[in-house]
Amino acid sequence: MLAAAFGMALTSFIGALAAHSTPGVVAAAAVTGYIFSAIGQIGPAAATVSLNSFVAFVLFSSQPLAAPVAAQESALVLAGGLIQAALLLAAWPAARGTAERAALADVYRNLADYAAQIAAGSPAIPPITPLATARQVLADPQPFARAAELARFNRLLEDSEVIRRRLGALAALDAEHRHSTVAELANAIADRLSATADVLTGVADEVAPLELSAFDDALRFAGAEDLAAHAHDAAEAAMMLAIGRLPRFALLSKARPGPYVHNRIDWLNRDCLRFALVVGVAMVLGRHFAAERGYWIPMTAALVLKPDLQTTFVRGGARIAGTLAGAVVASFALALVRGHPALELAGLLTATAAAYLAFNPNYALFTVAITSFVVMILSMRGLPGTTTVDARLLDTLAGGALAMIGYLIFPTWEHRRTRALLADLLNAQRALVGSILHEYADPSAEARKAIEARRNDIWRVRTSVETSIDRTRHEPHRHHSIGAGRALRILAATQRLGLACLALETVLETQHPIPPAGLRGFAAALDSEMAELSQALRESRRARHDDGVSAAASQIQTHLAATDREHDFITGLLRDFVEATGRIARLVGVTRGYA
C-alpha cells in the first residue's frame, strides 16, 4: 500500500507535467508503461503497485499543471494513500492474524484433499500454490503480532511443507506396497488435516487424537511415522492459536520462515513492448479525439490488455459489457437521487463498496460498480449525467477494442513458450534428482541446501508450465507446435519423477540410508538421459535414447540383498525414475531402435 501511494504520487506529478505537450505525454506514457509492465513480472503485489501507478499517470496526463500545482496535487494523492495505510494499521490489531489463519487453513485443506486422493488410489503431485501463497502472507510485515503467534504461524507453515513431502512419498509407493494400511493412514491424515483447517478458521476448537495401526517397512521408509507426528504437531499449534494454551504436548518443529518462489524481470519481454505501444497509441487517440477526458481510452487499454489472448478478450468483453450496464444503472440511480445530497452520498458509497467486493470474484460486476461510481461522482461535480454516460461508453469501447486489436497485431502466442517451459521443467527436475542422489551417496549440509534451492526452482517452473498449458488450450491451433494434450501428458509423466524425488528426500530426512553400490553411476546415467530429453524437447526433435538408466538401475538391484527392505524401497523408486523417463521419451519422440 505504501509502495502504491508513493508510486502514484510520483507518476501523477510526471503526468501533470507531461500533459503540456502531446508528444511528451505520449512518449512518457510509452516509457512508463514499459517500465511498469516489466516490474509487474515480479508478482501479484508488484503488478498491483505498477498498474495503480500507471493509472495515476494516465489520469493526471489529461490536466496540464504548473510544477507547484502538480506537486500539490501529488501530495494529496500521497496523503490519500497514507490515510489508507493509517486505517489499515488502525484495524490491524483487531484482525489477530485473520489473513494468516485463512492462508494456512487453505494449505491444510488442500493437503487434506490430496491425502484423500492417495487413499482413493489416484494421487498426483502435492499442491504447491496454496503453500507459496501462505509463504508470502506470512512474510508480510506484522508489526502488531505477538512473537508467540508468529512462531506458531511459522511452525504451521513448516509442518505443512514437511507433510507435503511425506504425502508425496506415500503416494510414490508402487502397486505391490499398496494395501489397506496406506488407505487407512491417508484417510486418517486427511481427517486430521481437515480438522486442523477448521480450527484455524474458527469452525472447530480442537482436533481429535490420531490413532493408527502399526506401520510396516514400506510405510516406515515412506516416512509414515514422521508424517503422523507433523500432522499432530500442526493440530497442536492450531489449537494453541484457537484456545490460547497447549492442550497436551510440546511442538516438534523449529520455527523457520519459508522462502519465496522468486520471479525475475525480463526487460526485453515482448509483452512489455506491446503494452508500451498500445498505451502510446491509446494516448494519441485520447488526446486527439477527447482531450478533456482523454485519460479514459489509455486507462481502459491498460486495464484490458494482458499477456495472454484469453484474459485480454475475456477482460475486454467484461469491461465493455460492464460499462454499458453500469451506465444504465447509474442513469436510473441519478434520476432517483439527484438533488438529495444524502441519497447521492449513499449511492456513491454503495457503488464503492460493490466495486471493492466484486473486484476479485467478477470483473464484469466490478466494472458495473466502478462505472456507476464514476458517473455519480462526475454528476455530483456538475457534469451532466447523459454526457458522462455517452463519453464513458465511447471511450471504453475505443480503449477495449484497441487493446484487443493490439494483441492480435502483436501477439504473444503461448504455445510457442510451452515446449521451452517443459524443457525448463525437465532441467529443473534433473537438477533436483542429481542433488538428492548426491546427498544420498554423500550426505552434507551443502547438498541439503542445494535440494531446497532446486525444489523452489521446480515450484516456479511447474507453475509457469501449468499456466502456459492452460493458456495454450484457449489459443487457435498452430502446426509445428506442441499440442496441449501431449504437453499435459508430458507434465503428468514428470509428476512421477516428482513423487519419486519426494519419497527419496523423505528417506534422507527420516532414516539413515546406506548408499547402494552403483548409485553414482545411476545418477550420471539419469542426468545424461534427462538432459537429452530436455534438449530434444526444446529443439523439437526426436531424442537419442539408450538403456543406460535401466541398466544402471538393474545393476544396483543385483548388488542388493533381497531381504533388505530399505534397499528394496529404494530400488522401487529407481524403477519409478526409469519408467518416468521412458514415458517422457516416448512422448517427446525417440530415434529408431528404441525399445
Lowest mean pLDDT among 364-378, 383-397, 451-465, 546-560: 383-397
pLDDT at 562 > cutoff 60? no
- Residue 177's pLDDT is 53
CA distance 505 to 502: 5
**Rounded alpha-carbon distances, angstroms, from residue 538 to 7, 484, 486, 532, 559:** 40, 16, 14, 10, 37
In total, the chain counts a number of residues equal to 595
Q: How far is CA 382 from the centre of its chain?
A: 44
- Tell me the DSSP string of 523-540: HHHHHHHHHHHHHHHHHT
Ranked by mean pLDDT, which of 139-148, 163-172, 210-219 comes out on top?
Answer: 163-172
Residues 6+ apart with CB under 8 A from 126: 111, 114, 164, 165, 167, 168, 171, 502
Share of the chain above pLDDT 90, in %: 21
Could you give phi then psi for residue 543, rounded to 5 degrees?
Answer: -90, 145
pLDDT at 53 > cutoff 90? yes
**Rounded alpha-carbon distances, angstroms, from residue 74 to 59, 296, 299, 305:** 12, 20, 18, 26
pLDDT at 329 > cutoff 70? yes
* End-to-end Cα distance, the chain: 59
- Residue 155's pLDDT is 85
- Side chain identity, residue 180: S
Lowest mean pLDDT among 52-56, 104-108, 330-334: 330-334
Do residues 233 and 251 lie in contact, with contact meaning Cβ atoms separated by under 8 Å?
A: yes
Mean pLDDT over 118-128 rounds to: 82
**pLDDT (tens digit per residue) in 244-294:** 544 443 334 333 334 445 567 888 888 999 999 999 999 998 887 765 666
Burial per residue of 473-503, b for 16 or more beta-carbon CB atoms within 10 angstroms, e otherwise: eebeeeeebbebeebbebbebbbbbbbbbbb
Do residues 287 and 294 lie in contact, with contact meaning Cβ atoms separated by under 8 Å?
A: yes
pLDDT at 211 > cutoff 80? no
CA distance 93 to 533: 53
**What's the predicted TM-score (pTM) here?**
0.73
pLDDT at 301 > cutoff 60? yes
- Residue 288's pLDDT is 79
Do residues 375 and 334 lie in contact, with contact meaning Cβ atoms separated by under 8 Å?
A: yes
pLDDT at 176 > cutoff 80? no
Lowest mean pLDDT among 342-356, 419-433, 495-509, 567-581: 567-581
Lowest mean pLDDT among 240-249, 308-317, 562-571: 240-249
Lowest mean pLDDT among 290-299, 327-336, 409-418: 290-299
CA distance 338 to 331: 10
pLDDT at 512 > cutoff 60? yes
- Residue 277's pLDDT is 95
Do residues 278 and 268 lie in contact, with contact meaning Cβ atoms separated by under 8 Å?
A: no
User: Exposed, middle or buried, 192 (CB in 10 Å: 0-12/13-18/19+)?
Assistant: buried
Could you give phi then psi for residue 590, rounded to 5 degrees?
Answer: -125, 160
**Rounded alpha-carbon distances, angstroms, from residue 442 to 439, 445, 508:** 5, 10, 11
CA distance 322 to 340: 26
Nearest residue to 118 (alpha-carbon basis) of 171, 160, 168, 165: 171
